[in-house]
Structure 1
Amino acid sequence: MEQRKWEDLNMDCLANVFEKVGMESFLLDVPFVCKSWYKATRSPLCWRTFVIPKEPDTIMSRLSNEYRLKKLDETELVKFVVSRSNRCIVSLVLSNNCSEEAITYVAQGCPALKYLELRNDSRANYLKSWSYSRTCSSALMSLVCKWHDLEVIKFGGIGFIEKTLAQISLHCKNFVGLTIFLACITKAEALAIVTLLPGIKHLELRNAIIAPENLVMILRGCKKLVHFDVRDGVRFRVDNEILKLAAHIPTFKYEGSRLGTI
């Protein structure tokens, strides 16, 4: 029986394989295996999902050498990936400390984006880089209107939450999932979630500072939730009243919530 060859695989299959090898191998190893694989890496199917590594120094160095580019920083890495994607990326994970320039480039180059995560790599680094995170949140607020197909967004909770949710409500009609890490959910933010995102299905507020009355407001107002995560929250404790209000939610995670200070 004749053996099948890797290069003869259906493009959907190849795309699924390449998606699992990681960004570094996809950009710097796979294209040089054979001509058919190089051709496959140019297919839009292979550019749907990208995760910028937590420690991108190695890939930036290899890209600079392989493509004879100037020394890259993280912003230039994002721009390189987005430019080569030919506007095909639908899922993208960046650092929460990425620059305003990088987010602006993503807004221009990824119009079909459905999933965007500004990753919280660590609590300590996140708090240490407060000014960068605030700049990132400000850029996100002004640019989220570019992603009309956006369904899920994950970002840090330093400022601009209400305004960002208002833009999502106006421009992202298929939106179903919100994660805000290390947020301070005041009455205004809780009201924004309830009124601006009535169709929200997945909500994660891990490590949030949130008063019991604001948690109750969300539970009463978000009737379509199927997943709600408030683990390790501060200033509230889940009691029987809250559990009763959350009974309609298939997955309600609250372990580690506590009274007291952050």
Structure 2
Amino acid sequence: MEEGDRSWEDMEMDCLFIIFSKLGLDDLSTSIPFVCHSWSAAARHPFSWRILNFRSIDFMPWSSFASRFKALFHVSKFSFSGFIKLAIRRSEGFAGELWLPPLASVEDLILASEGCPKLRKLALPGLTLKEETQIPILLSKWKELRLLELESKPSNFSQLVVKISQNCIHFIELKMPNSAINKDDVLAMHKYLPKLRSLDLSRAYLPKKELLLIAEGCRELQRLCVKNCVGFEEDEEVKRKACKIETFECEGSKMIHEGGFGMDECDDLYVDVI
């Protein structure tokens, strides 16, 4: 090493925090801490745990990550519930993003609502009807929430957006693919999410009349993604209504379901089969 050169272990802590916060939680917990003392200290700092994305890790007990974790930390059992407790504890309340995997439970979400009060981005897995009833209550704890991603529209969607309106004054982005969107849903967005800037309803059942209502009533929308939807085609009326939206994505959307029936005539049938 030439004179004046610096090794990786001599990097400023602030730089390490920025780099480590962008790594996967698997590397942050089982690789980085074992490189050197300075990296170990940085990997344990809460600033390195600001993005809690659990979706890229295999949490099955027989996975390579589970085996490596048990070996390094000398524990006999490994579980997702145990790892999320570790991650939330390491973040010390500084986490700004939480991306939960399909195996997460509502108990994990309750834990996050207590340990991650500064969340700005939250992605939830599919939930049962019973679990959905707790989401509006939990959302009221995240005052700084800006983005919410749902696997599909919850049964209590209207109640959910009311809570967002009352408690999350910075909320601007909703991702809710694979949903059946009706007029009441759109009117709820108009009334309770007037500052919405980005809306993702890809792969949804979205009739043309509801799409036009969104384009007309969500006046601050800068991005609307309705790719691969069923219920409308990009005709001249749709283009005209959507022209004010900076980014309008509707590739792959069509009027007719693959089964061959017209959506405007068979709404209830479609809702039953999706």
Q: TM-score, normalised by structure 1?
A: 0.88
TM-aligned CA deviation for residue 255 of structure 1: 0.8
Counterpart selection for 2:198 from 198, 202, 222: 202
Secondary structure of 2:124's partner?
Answer: strand
CA, structure 1 residues 95+61, in 2 after alignment: closer, same or farther (shift >3 Å)?
A: same
What corresponds to 2:82 in structure 1?
76
Gaps of 5+ in 1: 120-125, 127-131
Large movers: runs of 4+ above 6 Å: none
1:154 and 2:113 matched: no
Q: Is the 8 A contact 2:201 2:226 kept in 1?
A: yes
Secondary structure of 1:150's partner?
Answer: coil
Deviations 1:155-176 (A, max 9, x none): 1224222111111111000111
CA, structure 1 residues 80+135, in 2 after alignment: closer, same or farther (shift >3 Å)?
A: farther
Which residue identity lines up with residue 7 of structure 1 in the other structure?
Answer: E
Counterpart selection for 1:211 from 203, 207, 211: 207
Counterparts of 2:78 and 2:84, CA distance in 1? 10
Matches within 5 A, 1:181-260: 181-260=177-256
Which residue identity lines up with residue 92 of structure 2 in the other structure?
Answer: N
TM-aligned CA deviation for residue 66 of structure 1: 2.9
TM-aligned CA deviation for residue 249 of structure 1: 0.9
Q: Is the 8 A contact 1:103 1:139 kept in 2?
A: no
Matches within 5 A, 1:79-158: 79-118=85-124, 132-156=127-151, 157-158=153-154
Q: Is the 8 A contact 1:97 1:136 kept in 2?
A: no
TM-aligned CA deviation for residue 25 of structure 1: 1.0
Q: Is the 8 A contact 1:96 1:155 kept in 2?
A: no
Which residue identity lines up with residue 124 of structure 2 in the other structure?
Answer: L
Counterparts of 1:80 and 1:136, CA distance in 2? 23
Gaps of 5+ in 2: 258-273
Q: Which moved more, 1:13-22 or 1:190-199?
A: 13-22
Q: Is the 8 A contact 1:202 1:226 kept in 2?
A: yes
TM-aligned CA deviation for residue 70 of structure 1: 5.1
Deviations 1:180-239 (A, max 9, x none): 021111111111111111011011001111222111111111111111001111122222
Counterpart selection for 1:56 from 47, 55, 59: 59
What corresponds to 1:28 in structure 2?
30
Counterparts of 1:162 and 1:54, CA distance in 2? 33
Secondary structure of 1:217's partner?
Answer: helix
Deviations 1:127-161 (A, max 9, x none): xxxxx454553332221111000011101224222
CA, structure 1 residues 256+197, in 2 after alignment: closer, same or farther (shift >3 Å)?
A: same
CA, structure 1 residues 169+70, in 2 after alignment: closer, same or farther (shift >3 Å)?
A: farther
Counterparts of 2:149 and 2:234, CA distance in 1? 24
Q: Which has the larger radius of gyration?
A: 2
Counterparts of 1:136 and 1:64, CA distance in 2? 31
Q: Is the 8 A contact 1:116 1:154 kept in 2?
A: yes
Counterparts of 1:8 and 1:135, CA distance in 2? 51
Counterparts of 2:131 and 2:224, CA distance in 1? 25
Q: Which moved more, 1:32-41 or 1:64-73?
A: 64-73
Q: TM-score, normalised by structure 2?
A: 0.85
Identity score, percent? 29
TM-aligned CA deviation for residue 71 of structure 1: 2.3
Secondary structure of 2:48's partner?
Answer: helix
Q: Is the 8 A contact 2:21 2:47 kept in 1?
A: no
Q: Is the 8 A contact 2:22 2:51 kept in 1?
A: no
CA, structure 1 residues 37+107, in 2 after alignment: closer, same or farther (shift >3 Å)?
A: same
Counterparts of 1:70 and 1:182, CA distance in 2? 39
Counterparts of 1:46 and 1:247, CA distance in 2? 41
Counterparts of 2:243 and 2:29, CA distance in 1? 46
